[in-house]
Amino acid sequence: MASVLNNLFGGKPAASPDSTQAAGDSDFADFSQAADPSPAPVTPESSTSNPFGAAQTVQPYTKWYNVHERHSLSEFKVEGLILSAITVVLLLHLFGARLNRNKAKKWIRAHSAALTSEFSSVGFSGVPVIAADKKGDELLQALADENARQGDNLLKEKSLFEFATYATGRANVAFLDVKLTLLKRFNPFTVLFESVLAFFVDNAAETQDILDAVVYPFDGKEALIVPGIPGAAELRSKDGKSAFDGFVWALVHKERMKQVREDRYDVSLTVTKDHSKLPNWLTVMTESAEITDALLTPELIKAAEMAGDLLEYLIISDQPIEKPKTLNETTPRKRIFLKYRLPSNNDYANLVPLFRYFLRLTDRLVQGARFRPEVLRKVKAAREATAKQIQKADEESKAEERAQERERAKKAKRDLELNALDAKAQKKYLEREREKEMKKSMRKQTTRA
């Protein structure tokens, strides 16, 4: 500090560094000597330790820079198991999905001739643009060409286990819905679980390859259903007499009889009767023996015998599947149902005749499904009983609602009167109310005695 003051105010010259260090400033002893200007020799070690040095040497070889020497496959056992499981699941998924698609294609190839010969439009493509302005035979030929062009596309894939098709353009039939429900082969674990569950639980349905087809007859309503497009008039019945009597009749496999009766309200209206002309695995569920005599034809019996155990049921119904809860749901709506299991070998030679008969069944109903008044009275009796039950339940529900509404109005009036009184008057009001309740209860006890 003294040297600084001396330099500023002209004092004595500062001592030399040597004298300063000698005076006892030991903290700066390392810097007392001047730096040596001669450069230090560069060694490999020094250049390696300095990444910015001018001279770089090659990195010496070490095994820690080789992955295959640092790690081994035994360290990735868990990852290998996971990748193997994913690969197996993916292959099963692809293989199962392909099996289902092939099975669906084989079904449509076996039944496309029956569908295209009975219906002018099959599939979901609709009327082609080139046929929009055609009429008569030209329209039918254009629709037939469109059906032939679609090929396997007549059947639409809704999911990996559900396939569907649609058909329309036939006398006496509004439209046809067909659905194939196949096993989930793309997920074998689900199939195994459902199979085991069906084995131990009675209510669980066994998983199988199933066809469900539904025909919706015109029933005399062509003018309301057929759209007003060119050529549509030719799809209507010329005499307009496509209606037939309503009833419920079923040809059911005996092993499915109990389940069908429990699952469907319409079939629960029928009586089960064996028929001598039928094979021992089939039975008839009908509302009248006369209906059975009219519908159980030799062609149907032969087709059912050819189908064998694969046939589950053929149902003609004008009632809903679920039990109606309102009078509007009791309105007759005629439909024809067919359900059978698909063969494992994809051989449909024995099932196509039954499917053809199913498609043509509406023609026979229009021609001969008109019965005597005595039979129709018996058929209508069950429907009227159901309608009366629904009406009675509806009236009771409305009466209960009215009673609740009166109670709410009475309580609101009481609360209003009670709130308008002072404390003393409220006490008297409550005492009178309590006395009335006691007298009322005593009167009830006396009446019961």
Per-residue pLDDT of the chain (449 residues; tens, 9 = 90+): 556 555 555 554 444 444 444 444 555 455 555 555 555 554 544 444 445 444 555 656 665 567 777 778 888 889 989 999 999 999 999 999 999 999 999 999 999 999 999 998 898 887 776 666 677 777 778 788 888 888 889 999 999 999 999 998 888 999 999 999 999 999 988 888 888 887 777 666 678 899 999 999 998 887 777 655 444 455 554 555 788 999 999 999 999 999 999 999 999 999 998 888 999 999 999 999 999 999 999 999 999 999 999 999 999 999 999 988 888 888 889 999 999 999 999 999 999 999 999 999 999 999 888 899 999 998 888 888 888 888 888 888 888 889 899 889 988 888 888 888 888 888 888 888 888 888 888 877 777 66
My answer on whether 262 and 342 are in the same domain is yes
My answer on whether 175 and 310 are in the same domain is yes
Q: Which sign, positive or negative, has the C-alpha torsion 416, 422, 425, 430?
A: positive
My answer on whether 402 and 266 are in the same domain is no
My answer on whether 140 and 283 are in the same domain is yes
My answer on whether 157 and 302 are in the same domain is yes
User: Which tokens in the block code for residue 40?
Assistant: 């230090």
Domain final position from 362, 377, 392 = 377
Is 392 within the bounds of a domain? yes
Predicted confidence at residue 47, as pLDDT, reads 45
One-letter amino acid for residue 64 of the chain: W
My answer on whether 392 and 365 are in the same domain is no
Cβ contacts of residue 166 below 8 Å, gap of 6+?
122, 123, 124, 175, 176, 177, 178
My answer on whether 423 and 329 are in the same domain is no
Predicted confidence at residue 195, as pLDDT, reads 83
Burial class (CB in 10 A: 0-12, 13-18, 19+), 313: buried
Sort residue 156 into left (φ over 0), alpha (ψ -120 to 50) or beta: beta
Domain final position from 377, 404, 424 = 377
User: Which tokens in the block code for residue 311?
Assistant: 């046939």
Is 10 within the bounds of a domain? no
Predicted confidence at residue 442, as pLDDT, reads 83
My answer on whether 394 and 361 are in the same domain is no
How many Å is the Cα radius of gyration of the chain? 46
Is 3 within the bounds of a domain? no
Task: For residues 265 and 173, give the distance between their C-alpha atoms in angstroms, rounded to a whole number.
Answer: 24
What's the DSSP call for residue 207?
P
Is 87 within the bounds of a domain? no
User: Which tokens in the block code for residue 402?
Assistant: 């009215």
Is 169 within the bounds of a domain? yes
**Closest C-alpha among 50, 292, 88, 299 to residue 187:** 88
My answer on whether 413 and 370 are in the same domain is no
Is 66 within the bounds of a domain? no
Run of H or E residues at 150: helix 136-150
What's the DSSP call for residue 64?
G
Is 330 within the bounds of a domain? yes
Predicted confidence at residue 2, as pLDDT, reads 57
User: Which tokens in the block code for residue 444?
Assistant: 């009830």
Q: State in Å, rounded, how far the first CA of the chain is from the last one.
A: 126
Predicted confidence at residue 26, as pLDDT, reads 53
My answer on whether 276 and 322 are in the same domain is yes
My answer on whether 361 and 394 are in the same domain is no
Task: For residues 58 and 437, give the distance between their C-alpha atoms in angstroms, rounded to a whole number.
Answer: 109
One-letter amino acid for residue 262 of the chain: E
391 is in which domain, residue-wise?
Answer: 384-448
Is 50 within the bounds of a domain? no
pTM: 0.74
Alpha helices in 228-351 (DSSP H): 257-263, 289-295, 298-307
My answer on whether 346 and 422 are in the same domain is no
Cβ contacts of residue 218 below 8 Å, gap of 6+?
172, 173, 174, 225, 237, 242
Domain final position from 351, 377, 403 = 377
The count of domains in the chain is 2
Which neighbouring-strand residues pair with 249? 286, 316
